[in-house]
Amino acid sequence: MKIHYQLWLIFSCLFIVVCLAVYMVVSTTYEQRLQIGYEQISIAQSSPVLNQVKDTYPYSPNRSIGYLRTYSERLNSRLILLDDDKKVYADSFGQLKPNTTLHLTILAQDMVPASLFSETDSFGYVQHTLLPFQSAESEGYLLVIQEADQLYAELKSFQNWMVQTLFIAVIAFFFISYFVSTWFSKPIRQMISQLKKITPQKRTFSLKHRRRDEIKELIDATQNMVEELNLYDERQRRFLSTSSHELKTPLATMQLILENLPYVRENEETYREFVQDLSFQVQKMKQMVDQLLQMNRIWDKPLGKVTLVAGDIQHHLKQSFQHIAEAKQITLEFELDPITIYVDRALFLRGLDNVVSNAIRYSPQGKSVNISIKRERDENKISVCDQGMGISKEDLPHIFEPFYRSNDATAWNQEGSGLGLTIVKQMVEMHKGRIDIETVEKQGTCIHLFFEKT
């Protein structure tokens, strides 16, 4: 069911319940008020009767009956005089014998004077009022019985008026609540229609909403999501075009070499150079494809974290880089705290390899590369510092972009795909860590990787 129909239904049901409750409370209160009024009237009307019978009770029953008859006609009611045991003493209708015991609920009443109203089959609504009195000699009661149809006619007419008023209120509320709930849920319908229009080719979402509420939050969040998807899409597209371009360059070089190979077959030295170039390009392409595959795989696999001892990391780095470093007369120096870090081993080492290989690659011969693993405040910090070419201010913001290589780097070393630091960044992000770079051009670079302490 649509949300505004739901709201409408809920509001309407609640309103009907409230109306019913109001009806019950008001009509009961009104009935009680009427009864109190009738009771007061009855008491006031009966006081002259009481004054008269006080003098005759309990000695002259005949005179008492005379008074009762007179007033009974005047007041249009039946008057019964009761003794202090609430037994009949005299009846204005003359039907009840003296000393008769009456079975009436009103007689059980302790608080007098009091009135009781009841509906009877033969006389309709009847009001019983019991009034105490005190004569010189004795105590007694006067029971006044009169019809109360007028009271209930008044009540009925009031109830009818209320039912009509509430009915009109309910109808009015039906319309009002329909419009309010339709107005209230309008932004949701607008959102749905906008979202339905989104296609992979056309991803736009904009909606104006003035109220500062959850719907506004939802609209903002959706807008952000669409923008981020667009950004992601754009990045993905750029990545694809850059990767194909980057892969095409070595392929074009290879094709050129292959085309020219038959013409240099006579010259052995040139021929060997050509074959070497070819092998270099193949190598470069292989490395690039490997790294591209790695990059894509990183997101697919969930992290399998294990505890790595600092010594383990040192051992791995020595095994991987000692020979390469020695070939360039670069010394690898280690500074280790006896700590452990909790990471996905393969992913972490692949990232670290890229940082260390950069440090060696972009350092001149004879320098040293310093690798330290330390605990700093609440974090584990792995730093790789070199005394190499450094990174310029212009290059610094871009070095994590895929395929980005500074001009200096390309001039310094032909190898490299520009994917290494992208992989490092991905790895660190996956571990919810962070990267810090300190660098001075022509003096050296320190790359610090921070991971949460475990």
Ligand X SMILES: Nc1ncnc2c1ncn2[C@@H]1O[C@H](COP(=O)(O)OP(=O)(O)O)[C@@H](O)[C@H]1O
Q: Are 354 and 423 in contact (CB under 8 A)?
A: yes
Q: For the CB of residue 363, give the shortest distance to ligand X in the complex, in Å.
A: 7
Closest C-alpha among 290, 277, 281 to residue 243: 290
Which one, 128 or 284, has the nearer CB to Mg ion? 284
Residue of 162, 295, 404, 452 interacting with ligand X (CB under 6 A): 404
Burial of 314 (0-12, 13-18, 19+ CB in 10 A): middle
Pick the stretch among 168-176, 216-224, 293-301, 417-425 that binds ligand X (CB under 6 A).
417-425
- Residues ≥6 apart with Cβ < 8 Å to 34: 151, 154, 155
> How would you classify residue 329: left for phi > 0, otherwise alpha for psi between -120 and 50, otherwise beta?
left
Which one, 128 or 381, has the nearer CB to ligand X? 381
Q: For the CB of residue 410, give the shortest distance to ligand X in the complex, in Å.
A: 7
- The site string for ligand X over 319-358 (x = CB under 6 A, - otherwise) reads -----------------------------------x---x
Q: Are 439 and 385 in contact (CB under 8 A)?
A: no
Which one, 53 or 409, has the nearer CB to ligand X? 409
Which of 398-407 are b and which e, b meaning 16 or more Cβ less than 10 Å from the residue's Cβ?
ebbbbbbbbe
Residue 331 identity:
T
Residue 42 interacting partner from Mg ion, ligand X, none (CB closer than 5 to 8 Å by kind): none
Binding status of residue 298 toward ligand X by CB under 6 A: no
Q: Quote the CA–CA distance of 410 and 418 in Å, as a whole number.
A: 10
Residue in the shown chain whose Cβ atom is closest to ligand X: 420
Residue 426 interacting partner from ligand X, Mg ion, none (CB closer than 5 to 8 Å by kind): none
Residue of 399, 428, 430, 449 interacting with ligand X (CB under 6 A): 399
Q: Which residues would be at the binding site for Mg ion (CB under 5 A)?
A: 358, 420
Binding status of residue 383 toward ligand X by CB under 6 A: no
Q: Quote the CA–CA distance of 383 and 378 in Å, as a whole number.
A: 16
Residue 399 interacting partner from Mg ion, ligand X, none (CB closer than 5 to 8 Å by kind): ligand X
CA distance readout (Å), 338 to 310, 313, 314: 6, 12, 12
Pick the stretch among 237-245, 308-316, 330-338, 418-426 that binds ligand X (CB under 6 A).
418-426
Residue 386 interacting partner from ligand X, Mg ion, none (CB closer than 5 to 8 Å by kind): ligand X
CA distance readout (Å), 365 to 232, 324, 325, 430: 41, 11, 9, 34
Residue of 4, 78, 405, 431 interacting with ligand X (CB under 6 A): 405
Q: Using CB under 6 A, list all residues that contact ligand X.
A: 354, 358-359, 362, 386, 388-391, 395, 399, 404-406, 409, 416-422, 445
